[in-house]
Amino acid sequence: MSRGLVAAATGLLVAVSGCTSSDDGAAESSAPASSAPVEPEAAEIAWTDCDADLSQLVAGLPGSERDLAFECGRTEVPISYDEPQGATLPLFLVRARLAGQTDRIGSLVINPGGPGGSGADAALGQALTLPEDVLRRFDVVGFDPRGVGLSTPVECIPPDVKDRVVAAEPRPTTPEQVDAAFALQQELADGCAEEYGEALGTFNTVDTARDMDLLRQSLGDERLTYLGYSYGTTLGSTYAELFPDRVRALVLDAAVDPDDDPRAEAEQQATSLEASFDAYAANCVGLVAGCPLGPEPRRFTEDLLNQAAAAPIPSARPGENRQATPGIVMTAVLYSLYDAGRWPQLTQALSTARNGDAAGVFSLADAYWSRMADGTYTNTMDANLAINCADTDPGTEVPEEEVRTLATEWGQRFPLFGAGSAVGLHSCAAWEAERTPIPERDAEGAAPILVVGTAGDPVTPLPGAVDMAEDLASGVLLTYQGQGHTAYPRTDCVTGAVNAYLIDLVVPPDGQTCPA
């Protein structure tokens, strides 16, 4: 479960990495100038045996034959690090252990991205998929960050509103369409402000990084070993900036660019998404049996979007009352570009939708936003918006009139993803909660940090990994010349390099490239 979240399809939420623009100084909480900062104390983790339930949950999945034992944990962290001895909030964890561990090193802490992805879920998935060489040396530990999953979840967007968000116009270019997108953004901000008020500012990445250091202490590790994907690279590099001397090994896979301002980041992402769609289309056309979408998959998709706009497409799935709008179709496309393994499913879904049955595109779109069969959602969307906006420096927000201009210009330059990426720049404009901008990050003094980028990543383009590795004083870049979002453990080359680093602290040569 290493995917992040992106809003290019709807134009309503910020991008996968969010508006993670840097600020001139670290956003560290501190005590008054007249007193020394007070270090919070790490609370114990209350572990319970949840092996039977979690083993049943993953039964039948690839990797479930492994001899794994699962535990669930709860601990407490300060709500505000300005008041480290004050009120606390609970965090939920899952720990997975492989039987027969030898020469145990410690815990490998996981963050799957988002923001909004559940680290507890990720621990389950990674325990099934990580190389056994790693599992023999580490416990896999995933925690739901503050505001996510089972850790005081942010819940301020009702299911019917989420349905409207996903179904909304994905390519808003006309003034009326942009107005509608802005109105929905305002509705989300108003609803969350009414539910939480200033407490929304609590759910930010800087404080989550501080939480992670308390977890490190509670787990009994002298230094942190960490694997972060997508937004998880922002969290990991923020940790390294705040606690450089406490880094053992950090793998930052599918790195979010720490340098781009929101405008440049959105433009680069739109560029990469278009290129990834072209790679998907070329693959389809190159099939020996021929492409079910015909010789021009892009035109097929454009025609399908127009068809859904003129008459939303029903689904033959039993009990399904929704009809697929262009927003549903585009979300299915977007989700499938994360992983080339989903390309055949996308082709089938688009072909079937063109023939009047949207069941396939609904299946993909619902998986992307974690919508359940009963119409409820996880809090992924709520947390994604809340954390991204809490992390955003208001001074970097793009003015409304410029967003309108970009929606038109990018809609022409990037026909599928440009307008949505542009309008997504406005997502946090109505957000009223306190902001804690992501600090600039060089992590001076940290042990070597391995940054992994993928040449064909549609969501966090490769230049972001290059910049991350260059910015970090001890950053080392490893590049996978393939397609998809995230690289470890996809190929032997990437897996071997990352395993050696995690286990033996053997750092690959800076700039090493792994073939597709």
SS3 475: strand
Q: Does the active-site annotation cover 35?
A: no
SS3 314: strand
Candidate list 107, 213, 260, 485, residue with the active-site label: 485
Candidate list 151, 218, 230, 276, residue with the active-site label: 230
Question: Is the backbone of residue 242 left (phi > 0), alpha (psi -120 to 50) or beta?
Answer: alpha
Q: Which DSSP string do the residues of 356-393 spell out, in sequence order?
A: T--HHHHHHHHHHHTB-TTS-B-SHHHHHHHHHHHH--
Kindly state the helix (H) or strand (E) to which residue 80 belongs, with its residue range: none
6, 459 contact by CB (below 8 A) = yes
Candidate list 213, 366, 391, 457, residue with the active-site label: 457
With 0-12 / 13-18 / 19 or more C-beta atoms within 10 angstroms meaning exposed / middle / buried, residue 419 is buried
Residue 421 is encoded by which pair of tokens? 């990426």
Contacts of 374 (CB under 8 A, 6+ apart): none
Q: Which of 112, 110, 113, 111 minimizes the C-alpha distance to 135?
A: 110
Q: Does the active-site annotation cover 230?
A: yes
115, 20 contact by CB (below 8 A) = no
| CB neighbours of residue 186 within 10 Å | 13
Residue where the block lists tokens 């930010």: 204
With both helix axes pointing from N to C terminus, report the angle between 159-167 and 175-196 in degrees, rounded to the nearest 10.
160
Q: Does the active-site annotation cover 485?
A: yes
| CB neighbours of residue 88 within 10 Å | 16
The CA-based angle 103-107-113, given to 5 degrees, is 140
Parallel/antiparallel/unpaired status of strands 88-98 and 68-78: antiparallel
Residue 282 is encoded by which pair of tokens? 């070329």
Provide the annotated active-site residues: 230, 457, 485
